[in-house]
């Protein structure tokens, strides 16, 4: 049953929560209004779920877990339903991409890529549901065998940010389902439409009611109530490091398993012997893809001091060719930022970088010309000569701002890469395999890209070190975040017990 309550002639989508396979409105609270950040137009309204709605959603997920059938289905059966889910989502890719593009402000052309990723994640998780198995030990002792199974953890709370609403959901949801968990999703209050639509598609694919529930609302109220609910067993959170600390504390109080995918400040290290043409393209892509609102944005370019001047000139020239504009224009490379306050925050970083003595090479300002006046558009921005101790070098900006610094030798490149609290991803470009391996070993991050950037596959685990988080998602490790192992031990024949049998019998 669709969560859309009404879509008026002005095309404003009005959604209820999705609980137990049906829409559930939030009583007594003002709906949350979402304005398209590129035009300022009202495009969607979501319910602001209070504790009663969160409770109803968790109880629905609890029933679907405790009474089944979801966790009791065979792996093959769960895989079959997940494959059907992937097919149904595949059929709706264009519509879902349009929703995410409109609510995030990202180019539709690139949102289509997100949705291809969503389908690939669900398909991969289906293969895990089918092939997952435990382990056995048969060599421990005569007459003694043991085996370990992986059991679903229970009800999973999935809390998702706004930058890749459908894609990040797909890095959690199908893995939780493949493991046999039931879920309550809390999407960002800025971009909730695609999660609600995807919950409808799960139902249409035959995944039973109550297995996938969605509550919409603000983080400190709806999100916090969800994490603190005693019916939730595991929390999987993606968002900022500041919020991640609060989520971890709340999950800790309830002794719940918690996975945290947090911020990043990736370095893109380019040595003089690299394929410089490819490296320059990738530097521009990694910095400005998704308006730089990307946890793995290559927001620091560390360039070999021997080639710095020419290479930086090439990167600046290529950045100058990027088209910033309306998300639904097929020519657009860079869309709008998520909202005005975020644009102000990014501009504050720009002002701070200038004060700290960095050199502005391109951009640095809001864009209002050419029909962009009503949106939160920002020019792709590059600073040279960025000091390694400065805010711009160390802090996540989450906008289209690239910080450039030089290094002299591999040790210096590693030192600069690690000079931030974050440790999510980094990249290195070189034609020397020894340099590539040495630098990747030294980089303190969950992912290292060699001669590529912002790349991947659903098979490859993703997550951070240091302030970038705890745990891994996607791939086989992503499945394990939602399961608990059980060791079963069996002995036959005589057992050598430390209490002598005679003494025990005499004592009777």
What Å distances lie between residue 93 and 78, 87, 166, 224, 399, CA to CA? 22, 10, 10, 31, 26
Residue 251 binds to ligand NAD (criterion: CB under 6 A): no
Residue 121 binds to ligand NAD (criterion: CB under 6 A): no
Q: Closest approach of Cβ 163 to ligand NAD, in Å?
A: 5
Rounded-to-integer distance, Cα 430 and Cα 40, Å:
44
Q: Interface mask (CB under 6 A) for ligand NAD, residues 463-482, using x and -?
A: -x----x-------------
* One residue of 20, 25, 246, 340 binding ligand NAD per CB under 6 A: 246
Which residue's CB is nearer to ligand NAD, number 214 or number 361?
Answer: 214
Residue 48 binds to ligand NAD (criterion: CB under 6 A): no
Rounded-to-integer distance, Cα 181 and Cα 199, Å:
15
Closest CA to 311 of 172, 319, 88: 319
Q: Closest approach of Cβ 216 to ligand NAD, in Å?
A: 9
Residue 445 binds to ligand NAD (criterion: CB under 6 A): no
Which residue's CB is nearer to ligand NAD, number 161 or number 400?
Answer: 161
Query: Quick one: which segment of 67-75, 133-141, 215-223, 401-409 binds ligand NAD (CB under 6 A)?
Result: 215-223
Which residue's CB is nearer to ligand NAD, number 49 or number 207?
Answer: 49
* One residue of 398, 407, 429, 449 binding ligand NAD per CB under 6 A: 398
Q: In what order do the strands lie in the sheet with 144-152?
A: 135-141, 144-152, 483-491
What Å distances lie between residue 291 and 66, 126, 265, 337, 338, CA to CA? 43, 32, 15, 7, 9
* One residue of 44, 129, 202, 262 binding ligand NAD per CB under 6 A: 262
Tokens of residue 485, six digits: 């192992």
* One residue of 224, 290, 420, 483 binding ligand NAD per CB under 6 A: 224
Asked whether 285 and 320 are in contact (CB, 8 A), the reply is no
Closest CA to 167 of 205, 208, 116, 210: 116
Q: Closest approach of Cβ 220 to ligand NAD, in Å?
A: 4
Rounded to 10 degrees, what is the CA torsion of 279, 281, 284, 288?
-120
261 annotated active-site: yes
Length reported for the chain:
508
Q: Closest approach of Cβ 426 to ligand NAD, in Å?
A: 14
Query: Quick one: which segment of 234-242, 298-306, 321-329, 366-374 binds ligand NAD (CB under 6 A)?
Result: 234-242
Rounded-to-integer distance, Cα 305 and Cα 47, Å:
53
* One residue of 165, 219, 335, 384 binding ligand NAD per CB under 6 A: 219
Range 292-321, binding ligand NAD (CB under 6 A):
295
Q: Which residue is nearest to ligand NAD (CB)?
A: 219
Tokens of residue 475, six digits: 């791939």
Which residue's CB is nearer to ligand NAD, number 24 or number 235?
Answer: 235
* Enclosing H/E stretch for 22: strand 22-24
Q: Closest approach of Cβ 82 to ligand NAD, in Å?
A: 22
Q: Residue 271 — φ and ψ, nearest 5°? A: -90, 160
Cα three-residue angle 199-205-207, rounded to 5 degrees: 70
* One residue of 48, 100, 233, 261 binding ligand NAD per CB under 6 A: 261
Which residue's CB is nearer to ligand NAD, number 407 or number 422?
Answer: 422
Asked whether 216 and 17 are in contact (CB, 8 A), the reply is yes
Q: Closest approach of Cβ 463 to ligand NAD, in Å?
A: 7
Catalytic residue among 92, 261, 293, 396: 261
Range 147-186, binding ligand NAD (CB under 6 A):
159-163, 168, 186
Count of CB atoms situated within 10 Å of the CB of 505: 8
Q: Closest approach of Cβ 281 to ligand NAD, in Å?
A: 23
Asked whether 305 and 464 are in contact (CB, 8 A), the reply is no
Tokens of residue 389, six digits: 């101790």
Rounded-to-integer distance, Cα 474 and Cα 481, Å:
9
Q: Closest approach of Cβ 159 to ligand NAD, in Å?
A: 5
The answer, yes or no, to whether the previous bond of 69 is cis (omega within 30 of 0) is: yes
Query: Quick one: which segment of 2-10, 53-61, 232-240, 361-369 binds ligand NAD (CB under 6 A)?
Result: 232-240
Count of CB atoms situated within 10 Å of the CB of 20: 17
* One residue of 303, 424, 454, 474 binding ligand NAD per CB under 6 A: 424
Angle between helices 276-288 and 308-319 (to 10 degrees): 50
**Would you name the residues annotated as active-site residues?**
261, 295
Which residues bind to ligand NAD, rule: CB under 6 A? 159-163, 168, 186, 188-189, 218-220, 223-224, 227, 238-240, 243, 246-247, 261-264, 295, 396, 398, 424, 464, 469
């Amino acid at each position: 049953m669709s969560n859309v309550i009404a879509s008026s002639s002005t095309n404003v989508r009005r959604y209820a929560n999705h609980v137990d396979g049906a829409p559930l409105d939030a009583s007594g609270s003002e709906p949350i209004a979402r304005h398209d950040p590129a035009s300022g137009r009202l495009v969607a309204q979501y319910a602001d779920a209070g504790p009663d709605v969160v409770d109803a959603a968790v109880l629905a997920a609890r029933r679907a877990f405790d009474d089944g059938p979801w966790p009791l289905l065979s792996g093959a059966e769960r895989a079959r339903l997940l494959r059907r889910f992937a097919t149904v989502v595949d059929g709706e890719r264009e519509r879902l991409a349009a929703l995410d593009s409109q609510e995030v402000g990202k180019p539709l052309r690139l949102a289509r890529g997100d949705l291809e990723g969503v389908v690939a994640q669900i398909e991969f998780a289906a293969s895990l549901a089918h092939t997952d198995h435990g382990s056995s030990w048969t060599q421990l002792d005569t007459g003694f065998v043991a085996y370990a199974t992986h059991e679903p953890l229970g009800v999973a709370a999935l809390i998702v940010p706004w930058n890749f609403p459908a894609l990040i959901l797909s890095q959690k949801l199908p893995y939780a389902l493949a493991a046999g968990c039931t879920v309550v999703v809390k999407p960002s209050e800025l971009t909730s439409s695609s999660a609600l639509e995807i919950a409808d598609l799960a139902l249409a694919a035959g995944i039973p009611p109550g297995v996938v529930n969605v509550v919409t609302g603000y983080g400190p109220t709806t999100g916090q109530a969800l994490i603190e609910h005693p019916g939730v067993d595991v929390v999987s959170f993606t968002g900022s490091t500041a919020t991640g600390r609060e989520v971890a504390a709340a999950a800790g109080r309830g002794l719940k398993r918690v996975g945290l995918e947090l911020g990043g400040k990736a370095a893109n290290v380019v040595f003089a012997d690299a394929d410089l043409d490819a490296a320059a393209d990738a530097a521009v892509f990694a910095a400005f893809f998704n308006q730089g609102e990307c946890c793995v944005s290559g927001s620091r370019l560390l360039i070999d001091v021997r080639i710095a001047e020419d290479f930086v000139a090439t990167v600046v020239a290529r950045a100058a060719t990027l088209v910033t504009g309306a998300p639904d224009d097929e020519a657009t490379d860079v869309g709008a930022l998520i909202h005005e306050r975020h644009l102000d925050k990014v501009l504050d970083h720009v002002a701070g970088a200038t004060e700290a003595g960095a050199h502005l090479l391109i951009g640095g300002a809001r864009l209002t010309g050419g029909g962009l006046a009503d949106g939160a558009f920002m020019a792709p921005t590059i600073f040279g000569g960025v000091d390694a101790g400065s805010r711009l070098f160390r802090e996540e900006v989450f906008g289209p701002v690239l910080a450039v610094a030089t290094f002299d030798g591999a040790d210096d490149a590693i030192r600069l890469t690690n000079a931030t609290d974050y440790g999510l991803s980094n990249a290195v470009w070189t034609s020397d395999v020894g340099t590539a391996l040495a630098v990747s070993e030294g980089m303190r991050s969950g992912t290292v890209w060699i001669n590529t950037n912002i790349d991947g596959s659903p098979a490859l685990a993703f997550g951070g070190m240091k302030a970038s988080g705890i745990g891994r998602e996607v791939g086989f490790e992503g499945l394990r975040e939602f399961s608990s192992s059980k060791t079963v031990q069996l002995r036959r024949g005589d057992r050598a017990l430390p209490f002598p049998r005679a003494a025990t019998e005499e004592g009777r």
